[in-house]
Amino acid sequence: MLKALRFYGWPLLVGLLLALLIIQRYPQWVGLPSQDVNLRQAPRYGIAQEGPVSYAEAVGLAAPAVANLYTTKVVSKSGHPLLDDPTFRRFFGDNLPKQRRMESSLGSAVIMSPEGYLLTNNHVTAGADQIIVALKDGRETLARVIGSDPETDLAVLKIDLKNLPAITLGRSDQINIGDVTLAIGNPFGVGQTVTMGIISATGRNQLGLNTYEDFIQTDAAINPGNSGGALVDAHGNLIGINTAIFSKSGGSQGIGFAIPVKLATEVMKAIIENGQVIRGWLGIEVQPLTPELAESFGLGSHSGILVAGIYRNGPAQKAGLLPGDLILTIDGEAAIDGRRSMNQVARAKPGEKVAIGVLRGGETLELIAEIGVRPPQSNE
């Protein structure tokens, strides 16, 4: 017996080891999942997911299309506090000597097309006398402002250089919370910098930053100088224009906001074609219907937006709307959120007629209003 074990033992052991090696190398031969299984399917098989060890390829695609901005403007200031004294000015009037000093600021911009159109933030370029664009390849040139839109905090610049590296556009309407994102810009003027994070939220509004808000929130570090820079996905595609941070210290605290590329490109196209963004307007001020307001107006369980004020001779007044009316629908769409409803009006073309469902004095009315042109907001 012992002799038989010695005779057959080694071949059996070698065969077993060989079988284990084959199973490890070709697990699918015995019905086990392959080791190179798609990472999207990994949780199904109990395999830990691992992200890429580098985003160098994404950065290499996007970074050349992100430029540094250096803006300067001349500011006049009285030479001595005494010159600002009302009594002193009463005798000498406004013909007083003033000092002129140069103020400079930093920012970023994204090259959107080979023709030289750039997107940045309006607050970066507003009031600037000179805008210098510095590209990653070392070239520098002066830029001119094609137009701006303070209500979304966007501005379009134009430079005249050849062989410009335009960024690849992504789909901001297909992003998900948790997606990896990279912020590229010129923070604090140290030079182009890349930071990484995830998308923390989408559709952020009511922040009081812009008139029209639909922000992407990210925890990728965004600091002063990043404004106007690129927020890109893990493949280097542009998904947003970095615009603001929430901070009590002035530095990044993990809450940054970017304007979605879909909105940004719509604004850019309108500015290039018309010199401005033309938006629809009804000429009303609205406020949400709170339970307390509903009770005071005797509206019960109705939902809608309350007309708080009406501009004289505006489209709403001409249509017959009155303060205190409860708007139930606009063009067939339920009016539940005031900001969303006003954005719906803004997207309508001037001259277009919309039906407005109103509750007034317990009666339901339908008024027809002709969309007007929203007055431009001051750039100051």
Rg (CA), the chain: 30
Q: Distance (Å, rounded) from C-alpha 219 to C-alpha 217?
A: 7
Residue 227 catalytic?
yes
Count Cβ atoms below 10 Å from residue 319 Cβ, excluding itself: 20
Task: Look at the block and give the residue holding tokens 């990210």.
Answer: 218
Q: Are 235 and 181 in contact (CB under 8 A)?
A: no
Count Cβ atoms below 10 Å from residue 297 Cβ, excluding itself: 15
Q: Are 78 and 120 in contact (CB under 8 A)?
A: no
Q: Are 69 and 132 in contact (CB under 8 A)?
A: yes
> Of 123, 149, 172, 252, which one is the catalytic site residue?
123
Type of residue found at 301:
S
Q: Is 277 helix (H, G, I), strand (E, B) or coil?
A: coil
User: Running DSSP on this structure, what letter comes out for residue 87?
Assistant: H
Report which secondary-structure segment, H or E, holds 261: helix 261-274
Q: Are 302 and 289 in contact (CB under 8 A)?
A: yes
Q: Distance (Å, rounded) from C-alpha 184 to C-alpha 178?
A: 19
Residue 123 catalytic?
yes
Residue 302 catalytic?
no
Q: Are 64 and 165 in contact (CB under 8 A)?
A: yes
> Of 105, 148, 153, 219, which one is the catalytic site residue?
153
Nearest Cα neighbor of 170 from 248, 249, 94, 241 is 241
Q: Is 375 helix (H, G, I), strand (E, B) or coil?
A: coil
> Of 227, 252, 325, 341, which one is the catalytic site residue?
227
Q: Residues near 154 by Cβ (< 8 Å), separated by ≥ 6?
A: 119, 120, 121, 122, 148, 241, 259, 264, 267, 268, 271
The catalytic residue positions are 123, 153, 227
